[in-house]
Amino acid sequence: MRTVAIAGTGLIGGSFGLALRAAGFDGEIIGVSSAPALDAALRVGAIDRGAPLAEAAAEADLIFLAQPVRRIIETIAQLDPLVKPGALITDAGSTKSAILEAAKRHIRRARFIGGHPMAGSERTGAEASDANLFRARPWALMQGETDAGELTEWIKRFGADVIFLDAAEHDRMVAFTSHLPQLASTALAAVQSNDAMLFGPGLLDMTRLALSSWELWGDIVVTNREAILDALDRYTAELTRLREGIRLADEIPLKSLFQQAQQLASAIRAAPYRSYIK
Amino acid sequence: MRTVAIAGTGLIGGSFGLALRAAGFDGEIIGVSSAPALDAALRVGAIDRGAPLAEAAAEADLIFLAQPVRRIIETIAQLDPLVKPGALITDAGSTKSAILEAAKRHIRRARFIGGHPMAGSERTGAEASDANLFRARPWALMQGETDAGELTEWIKRFGADVIFLDAAEHDRMVAFTSHLPQLASTALAAVQSNDAMLFGPGLLDMTRLALSSWELWGDIVVTNREAILDALDRYTAELTRLREGIRLADEIPLKSLFQQAQQLASAIRAAPYRSYIK
């Protein structure tokens, strides 16, 4: 591939550009974004130039959509007539089923493979982008008819761990591992007093995600509603069990719930996803 | 003060010993703990020697109780006949009302001032102790008849911010800023799958507190029950608001809740407690 277009040159799009360069890509990287976002991406060296979508799509061998989920769906709806035949389109959207449906409906002349790099930061914009953002993080690619070929190779060169799975499985999983933590953090921040003065590092950890912007999350909760409602129900059920144990000062079930949580928190840190890497 | 006794030479007790040394204390530091805990504290240089409580209390000008809350209450119940008259006793218990009641009932020959350094780690034991653990963190001292005098000076030398408040106010506040985050993290870890493979740094942040041990938390939830139940109710009310917004795809209230949470998460980071420092 010689030319890459990045639609949405924020944190993820900018980091994709920087990671490509760091991994030795020497073709052209064209950004498609708002004027200030393009300026920022140019400043950090994530893109070579900005262009309108039609111009960038006509030249690109790979089109990377790094926008909020509903923007990705809008871009997909207009992209097919613009692309070079046989180009590869992928994305970084946080939910996958709705995006894959849109791609199935609209993309004819190009190939589409849905993706989701599990990396991020509470910081936004190309100013915060980082060639190492994807290193040692999972990067999900959706199983399907499209051969990810060269894309997979570049992602591996970024240091990320490629995991193939299907869109519904992805969406159920991230409802628990990503969307629920966001909502848990947002609700926790919402009950704090803005003159809270006694707290340790735990509260800072637990409210970091609450700094995330609604712009991104509105699209996620709308496009992964059922799985998120299920995760929220499971979560409030555990909170209710904790509440009952505390109300009754019944320490046996509380201790067992704490220990179960402790084991799961440790298991996550043992990075079991590595055994799933293909 | 020439001799300090530390009862409970784990992370907090060990860090207190190291912080005293780093701040220039050149008297003797005697540890009171289990044999392995004393060994670890000796190895890191947090204490000079171990001794039984009666022996350490008889010599100490300052007694620092760094045990779980109910162990502190047990120690207080037996301490009065053992102390040097006029000695200062303080503690690091995570809840304060129950401890202050015990001190009021039992301590006659010494002076008692309740304390709570808002510092910690998911790591435990003197092996993890750190002379800088308290730096730039709040250290609550309970307002009352006891002159904290020299103790306050040492805590300031540790780099901590001393905050005076009363026990009930402390317990209500930490129910929201410390106990609720712990329960939110524990419940979040409990709903994860132990083969979760797709997650980003957010899940690691949000489940770090879930690594904490029940040994500490059993005492906290039992001795701060009402305030914790209230905080849990406020939290589940916010989660229910989020759930309803998502179920109805009603983005206006969701956006406003996200923005409110974002503002509070930012306000916490602006460290407003500093304006309360006396």
Res B271: pLDDT: 63
Is the Cα torsion angle A52, A54, A60, A64 positive or negative in sign? positive
Residues of B in contact with A223 (CB under 8 A): none
**Which DSSP string do the residues of A67-84 spell out, in sequence order?**
S-HHHHHHHHHHHGGGSP
One digit per residue, pLDDT tens: chain B, 278 residues? Answer: 899 999 999 999 999 999 999 999 999 999 999 999 999 999 999 999 999 999 999 999 999 999 999 999 999 999 999 999 999 999 999 999 999 999 999 999 999 999 999 988 778 899 999 999 999 899 999 988 777 889 999 999 999 999 999 999 999 999 999 999 999 999 999 999 977 789 888 999 999 999 998 988 999 999 999 999 999 999 999 999 999 999 999 999 999 999 999 999 999 888 655 433 33
Q: Can you say whether residue B35 is alpha, beta or left, with left for phi > 0 and alpha for psi between -120 and 50 degrees?
A: alpha
Res A271: pLDDT: 63
| CB contact at 8 A, A262 and B210 | yes
Is the Cα torsion angle B158, B161, B162, B167 positive or negative in sign? negative
Phi, psi of B86 (to 5 degrees): 85, -5
Domain B3-165: assigned CATH number: 3.40.50.720
Provide the chain B residues 246-265 that lie in CB contact (below 8 A) with chain A. Answer: 246-247, 249, 251, 254-255, 257-265
**A61 by DSSP, 3-state: which?**
coil
Q: In chain A, pLDDT over 90 holds for what percent of residues? A: 86
Mean per-residue pLDDT of chain A: 94
**A49 by DSSP, 3-state: which?**
strand
Check B186 against A261: CB less than 8 A apart.
yes
Residues 6+ apart with CB under 8 A from A142: A96, A100, A113, A114, A115, A164, A165, A166, A167, A170
Q: Can you say whether residue B83 is alpha, beta or left, with left for phi > 0 and alpha for psi between -120 and 50 degrees?
A: beta
Res B196: pLDDT: 78
C-alpha–C-alpha distance, residues A251 and A244, integer Å: 10
Could you tell me the two tokens for B90?
A: 């303080």
C-alpha–C-alpha distance, residues A231 and A176, integer Å: 6
Residues 6+ apart with CB under 8 A from A34: none
Give the nearest partner residue to B187 out of A116, A182, A239, using CB atoms.
A239
Res A146: pLDDT: 75
Could you tell me the two tokens for B151?
A: 């103790």
Which tens digit of pLDDT belongs to each residue from A160-195? 999 999 999 999 999 999 999 999 999 999 999 977
Res A158: pLDDT: 97
Which tens digit of pLDDT belongs to each residue from A42-83? 999 999 999 999 999 999 999 999 999 999 999 999 999 999
Using CA coordinates, name the residue in chain B closest to A250: B222
Residues 6+ apart with CB under 8 A from A170: A96, A116, A140, A142, B198
Residue type present at position B266: S
Which tens digit of pLDDT belongs to each residue from A126-143? 999 999 999 989 999 998
Does A266 have pLDDT greater than 60?
yes
Q: Which of A190, A235, A195, A249 has its CA nearest to residue B267? A: A195
Q: A268-274 long-range CB contacts below 8 Å, 24 or more apart?
A: A268/B189, A268/B192, A268/B194, A268/B196, A268/B199, A268/B203, A268/B204, A268/B207, A269/B204, A272/B194, A272/B195, A272/B196, A272/B197, A273/A138, A273/A161, A273/A163, A273/B195, A273/B196, A273/B197, A273/B198, A273/B199, A274/A161
Check B239 against A239: CB less than 8 A apart.
yes
Check B261 against A208: CB less than 8 A apart.
no
Provide the chain B residues 133-192 that lie in CB contact (below 8 A) with chain A. Answer: 137-138, 140, 163, 165, 170, 173-174, 176-178, 180-192
Q: What mean pLDDT comes out for the span A10-39? A: 98
Beta bridge partner(s), residue B31: B6, B50
Q: Which of A131, A266, A241, A220 has its CA nearest to residue B192? A: A266
Could you tell me the two tokens for A52?
A: 């309108």
Does A89 have pLDDT greater than 70?
yes
Res A276: pLDDT: 38
A204: how many CB neighbours lie within 10 A of its CB? Answer: 14
What is the separation of C-alpha A158 from the centre of its chain, rounded to a whole number of angstroms? 16
Where is pLDDT greater, at B200 or A41? A41
- pTM reported for the whole predicted model: 0.88
Check B187 against A242: CB less than 8 A apart.
yes
Which tens digit of pLDDT belongs to each residue from B223-268? 999 999 999 999 999 999 999 999 999 999 999 999 999 999 999 8
Give the nearest partner residue to B176 out of A196, A235, A254, using CB atoms.
A196
Does A274 have pLDDT greater than 70?
no
Which tens digit of pLDDT belongs to each residue from A208-232? 999 998 988 999 999 999 999 999 9
ipTM for the predicted complex: 0.88
Q: Which of A11, A22, A180 has its CA nearest to residue B192? A: A180
Rg (CA), chain A: 20
Residues 6+ apart with CB under 8 A from B87: B57, B60, B61, B62, B63, B110, B111
Confidence of residue A278 (pLDDT cuts 50, 70, 90): very low
What is the separation of C-alpha B108 from the centre of its chain, rounded to a whole number of angstroms? 25
- Report domain B170-276's class: mainly alpha
Q: Which of A166, A170, A169, A179 has its CA nearest to residue A231? A: A179
Where is pLDDT greater, at A119 or B9? B9
| Residue ranges covered by each domain of chain A | 3-165, 170-276
Res A188: pLDDT: 98
C-alpha–C-alpha distance, residues A20 and A3, integer Å: 11
Res B275: pLDDT: 37
